[in-house]
Amino acid sequence: MNEARDSGSPTEKKRQLVELFLQRTLEDVDHMRRSVPQLIAGDQASWQELRFTAQRAAGMARTLELGILGACAKELAALADEKFAGTTLDAQFLLSVTSAIDMVALEVDRLRNGHA
């Protein structure tokens, strides 16, 4: 009987929202990783999608109070903004972008494995 009542508790609902968000973000990271060749080539649509995805993840992480993940996603979005501001796609910049994608992935993994 307590289980039925607990499944509707605010804490349980938040846990479910966090889990759904982490699953979606993991799928988004997988997509970002597959789009790296297009990012390297300077494909506008891929960069636009990266920026949108990172902004969405940063906002939702902030809402769910996932500070580190929010900071990682915000940094990735800032890098995409730099690209649209005219930053040259040199090796250093692209390494920063791929590292930021990896940092989001690492933080999602950490959270999904209960190390919050």
Q: Mind listing the domains of the chain with CATH numbers?
A: 12-112 (1.20.120.160)
- For residue 61, is pLDDT > 80? yes
- For residue 5, is pLDDT > 90? no
Averaged pLDDT, 45-61: 98
pTM: 0.88
Q: Tell me: the pLDDT tens digits for 70-85?
A: 999 999 999 999 999 9
Question: What residues contact 105, with CB distance under 8 A and at least 6 apart?
Answer: 26, 29, 33
Rounded Cα gap, residues 6 and 49, in angstroms: 38
